[in-house]
Amino acid sequence: MTPAQRPRQRPYSIERDVLEREVVIEAFRSGGPGGQHRNVTDSAVRLRHLPSGVRVTAADSRSQARNKDTAFARLIERLRALNRVRKPRVPTKVTKSAVERRIQTKKRHQTVKRRRGPVEPDQS
């Protein structure tokens, strides 16, 4: 079952100690610039939050501990966005004057189009 199909439970906890129990932590070798140290150590961190299905990676630093802190901060930010409850949209009604203005515009447009017809020959 993909995260999109999974029924959403709300709200997801954003406390670090709770998240550490709900998360699968993977360390891997990060690519990109950084020299020999970065190419030989598994310093990049990927976090998978199982309840929500959110995945976050951090490979900014050569330190795995610093990357782990960065990844948790990013995960908390994403979960806060998922926890946000949007206000329901209240449909609005079109005012009477707006309806009248629209009808007047249509009538003006109608007369302009009617005048575009073929020119009639003079009846002299």
Q: Is the pTM of this model over 0.95?
A: no
Percentage of the residues of the chain whose pLDDT score is greater than 70: 85
How is residue 7 written in tokens?
């029924």
Say if residue 5's pLDDT is above 90: no
Answer yes or no: are the C-beta atoms of 59 and 44 closer than 8 Å: yes
CA angle 74, 80, 84 (to 5 degrees): 150
The predicted-structure confidence for 58-95, as pLDDT tens digits, reads as follows 998 888 999 999 999 999 999 999 999 889 999 999 99
Give the pLDDT confidence score for residue 55 in this predicted structure: 96
Averaged confidence pLDDT in the chain: 87
Q: Is 67 exposed, middle or buried (0-12, 13-18, 19+ CB in 10 A)?
A: buried
Answer yes or no: are the C-beta atoms of 59 and 42 closer than 8 Å: no
Compute the distance between CA of residue 42 and CA of residue 63 in angstroms, rounded to an integer.
9
Compute the distance between CA of residue 39 and CA of residue 42 in angstroms, rounded to an integer.
8
Q: Report, as an integer, the average pLDDT of 46-67.
A: 93
Domains of the chain from N-terminus onward = 16-83 (3.30.160.20)
